[in-house]
Copies of this chain bind each other. A is one copy, B any other.
């Protein structure tokens, strides 16, 4: 960080730790038992839900609900979902692969999962490769390392080289779970790789980028204590022991094809997590909007209510999309439940499309002061103290300090470096709207949809019994397994 090697105690990482802490504290709080905890299907013991593999529709619903509630407490991203999303994807794909290829990866995975549950592991999922020239496939790049690749595959493990970026939580997490970023062709065997390692493993170099809030001296508040840290993680010839390897296209080229599914399925679980956090973020922004509108005395204005109601509406619809995705989930052969893809993507997309607009509404209702607010000190010391507080007064029913807290909080929420990172995260995290459109259209069967028009226009005499024209992950994998065997 900034040219120096720092430990996890570096104060620039404190904000992210503060967020992660909530995921431990609330799991230990009896009030949230059953929501923030789950029952392990391996051991039957109570575990943190962030280490659980979804065994039912109810698990998916609870995961979504837990995410929403925790994000209210952290004012946004809870930063621990990607690890368990990766684990759920691995639980399905390692099982399917073993079934088809006779490999025994799933056993390794389950052992590793047991370790997770026993130790309440917090992990990053390292998926996004640096990708070099985006028009070329991994093996076509000028520098072969621009996608993470296996340099060597041997009986005791593999050696990997490359880098993964946009790695939230990696700087403070216990483990890194690395997954492929896209489908691979036969020529990309070396790039079909998945594994897990401790975050401080030999050869792992993290270039860490923190984003924090201005330190407060007088007015402590949760919003001011949170922060983000992202890692540009370089794997500089890193050895991964075999029992921690979950995909090895170099050692066994038959595994390559599963890389794409793994990429996709992780993205899918992660987008479903977004149907929990995004509504919370909309609600946090709506909550700030409603509060500052009250303090500014404009809360009854028609345009104000209209704008807030649209943020609420987005939150409700995105959450509903995730809920119905859960209700329509299907059980994979491994026993893990997979939510509906079309709806999950439709929900996540709306959230991504609206996020900048929601920041705009907060700014709109707050007025310019949130961007021009004098520093905290001017309100607490010296000759300006009394004057600064005097002139801050708006709604006479609210104390000057609370008005100060409100505008200071909104400054943290929408004007800080941290908020810039959150905007981009709200757009890109889990895949940008562009990606969701592509996924939706890949899963949606347009030919079946066209039957409606063909019937109405008299091109076909009958309208076939309508089924929602979507391709489930199950069907997709089945098709793939069949094609593979043939």
Report if A264 contacts B (CB, 8 A).
Answer: no
* B305→A303 contact, CB < 8 A: no
* B306→A221 contact, CB < 8 A: no
- Bound: A317/B314 CA distance, A: 10
* B312→A135 contact, CB < 8 A: no
Q: How far is the CB of A356 from chain B (nearest CB, A)?
A: 4
Interface centre among A2, A75, A167, A370 (most CB of B within 10 A): A2
Q: How far is the CB of A18 from chain B (nearest CB, A)?
A: 12
Which listed residue, B305, B413, B429, touches A441 by the CB 8 Å rule?
B305
Q: Which among A124-132, A176-184, A194-202, A255-263 touches the partner chain? A: A124-132
* B372→A230 contact, CB < 8 A: yes
* A347→B317 contact, CB < 8 A: yes
Interface residues of A in 377-407 (CB under 8 A from B): 377-378, 380-384, 387-388, 390-396, 402, 405-406
Report if A145 contacts B (CB, 8 A).
Answer: yes
Query: What B residues does A146 contact at CB under 8 A?
Result: 391, 393
Report if A452 contacts B (CB, 8 A).
Answer: yes
Q: Which among A47-55, A89-97, A100-108, A443-451 touches the partner chain? A: A443-451
Query: What B residues does A457 contact at CB under 8 A?
Result: 221, 223, 288, 291, 405-406, 408-410
Contact-size category for A: 35 or more
Query: What B residues does A309 contact at CB under 8 A?
Result: 437, 440-441, 444
Report if A42 contacts B (CB, 8 A).
Answer: no
Q: Which among A111-119, A318-326, A472-480 touches the partner chain? A: A318-326
Query: What B residues does A320 contact at CB under 8 A?
Result: 317, 320-321, 323-324, 343, 347
Q: Which among A79-87, A240-248, A294-302 touches the partner chain? A: A294-302
* A371→B415 contact, CB < 8 A: no
* B415→A209 contact, CB < 8 A: no
Interface centre among A135, A313, A393 (most CB of B within 10 A): A313
Report if A417 contacts B (CB, 8 A).
Answer: yes
* A207→B459 contact, CB < 8 A: no
Which listed residue, B312, B387, B425, B441, touches A236 by the CB 8 Å rule?
B387
Q: How far is the CB of A447 from chain B (nearest CB, A)?
A: 9
* A424→B370 contact, CB < 8 A: yes
- Bound: A457/B291 CA distance, A: 10
* B313→A346 contact, CB < 8 A: yes
How many copies of this chain does one complex carry?
Answer: 4
- Bound: A333/B320 CA distance, A: 26
Query: What B residues does A428 contact at CB under 8 A?
Result: 363-364, 367-368
- Bound: A303/B433 CA distance, A: 11
Interface centre among A162, A312, A373, A429 (most CB of B within 10 A): A312
Which listed residue, B298, B364, B392, B423, touches A427 by the CB 8 Å rule?
B364
Which listed residue, B208, B291, B363, B374, touches A454 by the CB 8 Å rule?
B291
Which listed residue, B166, B294, B357, B371, touches A420 by the CB 8 Å rule?
B371
If A296-B134, A297-B135, A377-B3 touch, whether A142 touches B450 (CB-CB below 8 Å) is no
Report if A419 contacts B (CB, 8 A).
Answer: yes
If A209-B375, A369-B166 touch, whether A133 touches B284 (CB-CB below 8 Å) is no
Report if A121 contacts B (CB, 8 A).
Answer: no
Report if A484 contacts B (CB, 8 A).
Answer: no
Report if A359 contacts B (CB, 8 A).
Answer: yes
- Pull 18 A–B residue pairs with CB atoms less than 8 Å apart, ordered by A: A72-B452, A72-B455, A134-B296, A146-B393, A162-B391, A163-B387, A165-B391, A221-B457, A232-B378, A287-B451, A310-B437, A313-B346, A320-B347, A356-B356, A368-B424, A371-B421, A414-B420, A417-B420
Beyond contacts A287-B456, A305-B441, A309-B440: 19 other A-B pairs, Cβ-Cβ < 8 A, are A3-B377, A73-B463, A166-B371, A166-B372, A205-B384, A209-B373, A211-B415, A223-B458, A234-B388, A286-B449, A288-B456, A309-B437, A310-B437, A320-B323, A324-B324, A370-B424, A408-B457, A414-B420, A416-B420
The 7 closest A-B pairs by CB, nearest first: A221-B458, A409-B457, A3-B377, A207-B374, A415-B420, A230-B372, A371-B424
